[in-house]
Chains A and B, each alone.
Chain A
Amino acid sequence: MTITPTTPTTPTTPSAPSASPPSAPVRPAAGPGAPTSFTASLLGPYLDLRPVVHGSLQTQGLDCAYDQLAHPDEPLVLLQTHPAASFRPLVVRELRLPGYAEHLAVPADLDPALRTERWAAMVEAYDAYPGRPPAHQLRLLNLLDSLGLYEAIRRRAQPVTDEEIDSDASLAAIAARRVKAAAKVVPGDATVDEDLRVLARLAASPAVGPEGRMAAAITLVVQHSKGRRRDPALARSWREVAEREFAQMRIESWNDLLVASTYWRSVSFVPFQEGDRATVVAELDRAEELARAAPADDEVQRVIRGQNLHPLLETRVKEAAWLGDEDLALERARELVAIDPLDPKVHLQLGERLLRRGDVAAAAATYADAAHLGAPYTPLAWHAAGRCLEELDRLDDACEAYVLALRADPGGVSAAQRLVEIGRRAGYPELSGWALALLHEHRRHLRTVKEASGR
């Protein structure tokens, strides 16, 4: 099969038939179980790799990742967003499309009748992986990474020795993908330690050049700046490694601008932890300046630029809040929504800022906006909207928000607890009763799990 590149985002419908004769069965255009809702139009590419019609910058990255597989001779650009391993399962569950395999391990697990041509091409590339050169293999792994199919990466990516990391840039990148995927699938000390070990090896690899070593070092800065591996001294020492490599880099292409922006954003974690406000602001200013200087002359540049600006502005929202400047935090949160309007997370962040300022009504509407954009934040967003609506004494609306939260996540303890109370107060005993039944079921399930584990 020939891998067909993506046509630059023409507004075709998700179910529009392909212009060329399909070489694999084409999914049904509509009908029971077909992804036809608005949310499905946003998240459908995660189901079957259909071309992106509209969606968040993260979703748009799927087209770029697929094109990189389809054009193995084009330069590789780095996509910055990596969905959680639970992302695709949440999409399948929330869209109530069980046919699309909630727990899909490898691409071939998708029913052939539901595969698009692109998905079929990915299956073919997955099967042909062992015979491909590492540089091509990496492109498939990048696509699987963009889809959140980390188990597939874990199974397909070959073990890479430390010597190979030192001698071959593509194999070094494959090693990084492999351990990162393992840490996503089986999060725990062993996989995280192995991820850190490989990153450290990469940060010293002669094969990957200063940019590759710097990229590994700044990842280590971030890893040691938060979470269970937080270690300010280690973060500082990795920053020093990153600084040395960065000093050797030349900014020559548009991609270099983004790499440099990422560098400044990442290393600013160190002064942040040390409480050095002026340096944090200066380094993030520099990161933003570089991010905004990146061109957006074509579709790939636009997406990659946006994928860089997005996390940077997220960081800057947090920075402004940290500095106590809520006006600036709100302004940046609003810009983030303008840059990536179909990403639910940015609406959640805006809602949080509005809530901090006491604008509960606007926060409620913003949380609802987030919920309408679908997985993975739908239940969280509806729950937050419900809490705001309660505060506004709009109990009917609050009940509806909690019902929608539980529809997206029947395991939502918080939403069920609120609905038990608000359903009663609003005069809907049936909703309270249902929520109570869900809570009883959760307790029963947790008891069973506890007993089974012998605790």
Chain B
Amino acid sequence: MKLRYLTVGEAGAAAAVPPGPTPAAWLLRPYLDLGGEGGPVHARATASLGDAVLDDGGPERPFQGNTHSELRPRLLAEVARPGYDVDWPPDLPVGLRTPRWEALVEGVAGWAAAPPVRRLKVVGLLNRLGLWHATLRLVPAPSLADVEHDDHVASLAIPRVVAAFKVGGAGVRDDVERTFAAVATRAAGPPALRLSAAVNLVVHHAKLGGGPAAVARWADVAARARAAVVAAGTGLEAGAGFDAIAASAYLRGVSYLPFLDGRPQEAAAMLDDAEALAREALADPAARLHAEENLHAVLETRSKEALAAGDLDLALQRATALTDHDPLDAKVWAQRGDIEASAGSTASALASYRRAARLGAPVTGAAWRKAGTCWERLGDQRAARDAFLRAVDADAGDLAALLGAHRSAKALSDVPVLRWATSRLQDLTGGRAVRRPPAPAAATA
């Protein structure tokens, strides 16, 4: 076996972005500079929104998903190239910009004179990139009266509150709810806008424990808005695929109501319809990427639905369908690993977590930590230690990973790692006792 090692050395590091020092930096490149074409559905959607800003002709075609709050910071930490760490698009050095990014810079610079559709595209892209502060800088906080009377203000209010929530978290929850409510209950204007706000409120209250009454109220508002959308034919103007996606997204959102009301079969029936519509939309080439994004969301919800019903086999079947559908998305592999781990399939879970960790941000650290736990269960302390070390490398504050490193180092009598883990735990906890979970029980693959 020849072990000759060739390198272009520092030149390689200088040229590390693109394509990047990790697979994630290549697959998620749109988040760095709006370059690249491949990657998971969410990254391709981001690139597509970049195209929409670059080719300023077409209508706005927003995507449903909100960018994971941790994606951008964790990706930047993985790439470790300070030039890319910007909050404001013009701050990206000129030499690092792609044509799409240049278009975004122009969009930001020409904000004051831009027509409403262009503004929506620019803000949609900023949110997609995780540049929440840039959105807040461009879009002033609207008054509720303006939201009521001005379609444009109402349209921008939604991405603005999403950005505000991403930055401010629970501290701005009331403001977020008030703004969404004001958009959802407008007396006039586009029904699709009201529908979007109402469905957002259903999901928001369902996820954050707003109570069945709040969920029911906004589901009712959403139903009326949906009827108005259908009556106005808004969806059909966009094309069959987009219409199916809109219907699918609506059903997925409002299915929370029967689910929380203890009517799981009704929720399942709605989700069956949502899934059928999602698959139907894939046939429309004009809506292909939006349809892929929608099916991703539906399959994710369906896997959670099966988990909530205690049906691990079905949950895994759906999680597997999701990894088949969007195999370059790190998060879906981590989710599949969680289900496999719950089902006691430690070796399968390990394979899924390792794939998630290799795909990278935003789950790199957590996936390595969980892989470490799997290796502990399988009795491979050495591999467990290495995985825990990689987890801490990705997320220095991950106490569970540090505890794992401490456990495995102790089992291996690895004094340097043990000493380091002890010291880091003391640093992070200020010497307070940390409740140490017992080491995972041994398992068979």
Interface residues of A (CB under 8 A from B): 11, 13-15, 29-32, 34, 36-39, 41-42, 53-54, 89, 93, 96-98, 341-342, 352, 355, 360, 365, 368, 372, 379-380, 383-384, 387-388, 391, 396, 399-400, 403, 406-407, 409-415, 428, 430-431, 433-434, 437-438, 441-442, 444-446, 449
B424 at the interface (CB under 8 A from A): yes
B417 at the interface (CB under 8 A from A): yes
Closest 4 CB pairs of A and B: A411-B12, A96-B80, A13-B423, A437-B19
B6 at the interface (CB under 8 A from A): yes
B3 at the interface (CB under 8 A from A): yes
Known: A37-B393, A38-B420, A365-B382. A383 touches B23 (CB 8 A): no
> Are B5 and A96 in contact (CB-based, < 8 A)?
no
B7 at the interface (CB under 8 A from A): yes
> Are B16 and A396 in contact (CB-based, < 8 A)?
no
Interface flags, B1-33, vs A, CB<8A=1, else 0: 111111111111111101111110011000000
CB neighbours (8 Å) of A383 from chain B are: 3, 5
> Are B7 and A414 in contact (CB-based, < 8 A)?
yes
Ordered by A's residue number, 16 sampled pairs between the chains whose C-beta atoms are within 8 Å are: A41-B416, A89-B10, A355-B1, A384-B5, A387-B1, A388-B1, A400-B354, A403-B23, A406-B22, A411-B7, A414-B7, A430-B327, A433-B38, A441-B19, A445-B11, A445-B12
CA distance A406 to B427 in the complex (A): 31
> Are A414 and B6 in contact (CB-based, < 8 A)?
yes
Min CB distance B9 to A, Å, is 5
CA distance A407 to B393 in the complex (A): 13
> Are A442 and B423 in contact (CB-based, < 8 A)?
no
CA distance A444 to B8 in the complex (A): 12
CB neighbours (8 Å) of B15 from chain A are: 410-411, 441-442, 444-445
Please tell me which one of the listed residues B23, B351, B427 contacts residue A13 in the complex, with CB atoms under 8 A apart: B427
CA distance A106 to B23 in the complex (A): 35
CA distance A89 to B358 in the complex (A): 26
> Are A434 and B19 in contact (CB-based, < 8 A)?
yes
CA distance A106 to B422 in the complex (A): 34
Known: A54-B419, A449-B11. A441 touches B3 (CB 8 A): no
Min CB distance A378 to B, Å, is 11
> Are B21 and A407 in contact (CB-based, < 8 A)?
yes
Known: A37-B393, A342-B416, A403-B22. A379 touches B27 (CB 8 A): no
Please tell me which one of the listed residues A37, A379, A428, A449 contacts residue B389 in the complex, with CB atoms under 8 A apart: A37
Min CB distance B284 to A, Å, is 26
B238 at the interface (CB under 8 A from A): no
> Are B11 and A446 in contact (CB-based, < 8 A)?
yes
> Are A438 and B19 in contact (CB-based, < 8 A)?
yes
Min CB distance B406 to A, Å, is 11
The DSSP consensus for interface residues of chain A is helix
Please tell me which one of the listed residues B8, B80, B420, B421 contacts residue A411 in the complex, with CB atoms under 8 A apart: B8
CA distance A37 to B9 in the complex (A): 24
B359 at the interface (CB under 8 A from A): yes
CA distance A14 to B424 in the complex (A): 9
Interface residues of B (CB under 8 A from A): 1-16, 18-23, 26-27, 38, 77, 80-82, 327-328, 351, 354-355, 358-359, 382, 386, 389, 392-393, 396-397, 405, 416-417, 419-421, 423-424, 426-428
Chain B residue with the shortest CB-CB distance to A89: B10
CA distance A360 to B22 in the complex (A): 27
A38-B389, A431-B23 known, 7 other contacts, Cβ within 8 Å: A13-B426, A98-B80, A412-B7, A415-B5, A428-B355, A441-B12, A441-B18
CB neighbours (8 Å) of A396 from chain B are: 351, 354
Max chain A Cβ within 10 angstroms of own Cβ: one of B1, B6, B7: B7
CB neighbours (8 Å) of B3 from chain A are: 352, 355, 383-384, 387
CA distance A303 to B197 in the complex (A): 68
Chain A residue with the shortest CB-CB distance to B12: A411
Chain A residue with the shortest CB-CB distance to B415: A54
> Are B16 and A410 in contact (CB-based, < 8 A)?
yes
> Are B392 and A38 in contact (CB-based, < 8 A)?
yes
> Are A431 and B18 in contact (CB-based, < 8 A)?
no
> Are B27 and A434 in contact (CB-based, < 8 A)?
yes
CA distance A250 to B382 in the complex (A): 49
CB neighbours (8 Å) of A32 from chain B are: 77
> Are B386 and A372 in contact (CB-based, < 8 A)?
yes
> Are A37 and B416 in contact (CB-based, < 8 A)?
no
CB neighbours (8 Å) of B5 from chain A are: 379-380, 383-384, 412, 414-415
Chain B residue with the shortest CB-CB distance to A32: B77
Min CB distance A176 to B, Å, is 28
> Are B358 and A411 in contact (CB-based, < 8 A)?
no
Max chain A Cβ within 10 angstroms of own Cβ: one of B6, B8, B358: B8
Known: A400-B358, A403-B358, A406-B21. A438 touches B12 (CB 8 A): yes
CB neighbours (8 Å) of B417 from chain A are: 38
Min CB distance B41 to A, Å, is 13
Chain B residue with the shortest CB-CB distance to A413: B6
CB neighbours (8 Å) of A38 from chain B are: 389, 392-393, 405, 416-417, 420-421
> Are B13 and A414 in contact (CB-based, < 8 A)?
no
> Are A430 and B27 in contact (CB-based, < 8 A)?
yes
CA distance A410 to B18 in the complex (A): 11
Min CB distance A345 to B, Å, is 14
> Are A411 and B9 in contact (CB-based, < 8 A)?
yes
Max chain A Cβ within 10 angstroms of own Cβ: one of B5, B15, B16: B5
Known: A387-B1, A391-B1, A430-B328. A413 touches B416 (CB 8 A): no
Known: A36-B424, A93-B13. A30 touches B396 (CB 8 A): yes
Chain A residue with the shortest CB-CB distance to B405: A38
Min CB distance A388 to B, Å, is 7
CA distance A28 to B335 in the complex (A): 35
CA distance A446 to B8 in the complex (A): 8
Known: A11-B419, A409-B13. A437 touches B392 (CB 8 A): no
CB neighbours (8 Å) of B23 from chain A are: 403, 430-431, 434
CB neighbours (8 Å) of A445 from chain B are: 8, 11-12, 14-15
